[in-house]
Amino acid sequence: MLEQGKEPPLEEGRVPTPDDQAQPFKKRPRGVYWLPNLFTTASLFCGFTSIVQGMNHRFDLAAMLCFFALIFDSLDGRVARWTGTTSAFGEQYDSLSDMVSFGAAPALIMYEWALKGLGKFGWVAAFVYVAGAALRLARFNTNLGVVDKRFFQGLPSPAAAAMVVGLIWTFTELEAMKLVDWRGPDLALLGWLITIYAGLTMVSNAPFYSFKTLNARRRVSFMTAFAFMLVFGLVSLDPALVLFLFFLGYGLSGWIYAGWLRAKGRPSPFARHEPHEAA
C-alpha cells in the first residue's frame, strides 16, 4: 500500500524520467460533500419526476415540479459557498442535473402538451430548446471566471425553463378555473414560439442581469422591503400567472438592454471577451 506523499512505484523495466522525480504523487480525495449535492439531487429528482408527470398528462404538477427544481438549483451553489464545500464534482453534477431539469424536462413537457400535433415542426422546436440548453450550459462552464459576473451571456436555462413550463402551468390553471376553454393543442403556435425563442435566446449574446452583485447583508430602505413583501403577496394570489409574467419579462429584458446599449453606442459587457478577427 502506498503511503500518502510518496510516489507510486515505476513499472518494471522503465527508466525514471525527470518528470517522475519533479512531480510528487498526490492522493486523490475520496468521497463528495453531501450537503450541496443533496440539493442538486433534489433538483434532479424534481426534473425527472416532472418528465414522468408530463408523460402522464399531469401538466400542472409537471410544471410545478420544474419550479421546485429551480428553487433547489438556486440553493445548491449558495450552500456550497456558505459552507466552504465547493468542488469540481459538484460543478459537473450541477450541470448534468440542469440539463435534465431545465433542458430535457421542459422540452418534453411542452411537446406532450402542445407540440405533438405539429408533427416534425413540433419535435424540431423541442430539439432546438434541448440543444440550446446543452450549448448554454457548456458555454457557461467554459466561461467561469472570464465574463462579467454581473450578467449572464444568454438566457439562463432555469429562466428559459420557467418561461416554457410557466405558459403550461398558467393555461392549465385557467382552464381548470373555467376562465378559458383552450388546451395545449389550441395553443400549439404560442407554445412553439415560446420554445423556439427560449432555445435560441439561451445561445445568444444578449446580457441578462445575474443578480450576483446583490449584497444580502446590505441595509435597504423601507420602501424596498415593502416592495419585496408586495411581490410575495402577488405571487401568492396567482403563482402560475405571476411567475410566468415575471420570467417572460426577464426573458425579454436581455434584448431590451442590448438594444439600449446599442442605441447609446456602448459596448456589450461581453465585447472584450469575444475573439477579434484578423485585419
Domain boundaries, the chain: 34-263
pTM over 0.85, yes/no: no
Q: Which pLDDT does position 106 carry in this prediction?
A: 97
What is the rounded CA–CA span in Å between residue 71 and residue 79?
A: 12
Q: Which pLDDT does position 21 carry in this prediction?
A: 53
What is the rounded CA–CA span in Å between residue 104 and residue 256?
A: 28
**pLDDT tens, residue by residue, 152-185:** 999 999 999 999 999 999 999 999 888 888 888 8
Name the residue type at position 139: R
Task: Give the CATH fold of the 34-263 domain.
Answer: Four Helix Bundle (Hemerythrin (Met), subunit A) (1.20.120)
Question: Which residues 6+ apart lie within 8 Å of 90 measured at CB?
Answer: 32, 33, 36, 37, 40, 76, 80
61 grid coordinates: 404538477
Specify the range with the lowest mean pLDDT, choosing from 6-10, 34-38, 96-100, 166-170: 6-10
CA dihedral 86, 87, 89, 92 (to 10 degrees): 60
What is the rounded CA–CA span in Å between residue 202 and residue 221?
A: 34
Indicate whether 279 pLDDT > 50.
Answer: no
Indicate whether 96 pLDDT > 90.
Answer: yes
Residues forming beta bridges with residue 207, ordered by sequence position: 153
The proportion of the chain whose per-residue pLDDT surpasses 90, expressed as a percent, equals 56
253 grid coordinates: 429584458
* Contact criterion met (CB below 8 Å) for 209 and 121: no
Q: What angle do CA 84, 90, 93 make, to 5 degrees?
A: 165
Question: Which residues 6+ apart lie within 8 Å of 121 measured at CB?
Answer: 115, 192
Closest CA to 102 of 78, 67, 75: 67
The proportion of the chain whose per-residue pLDDT surpasses 70, expressed as a percent, equals 80
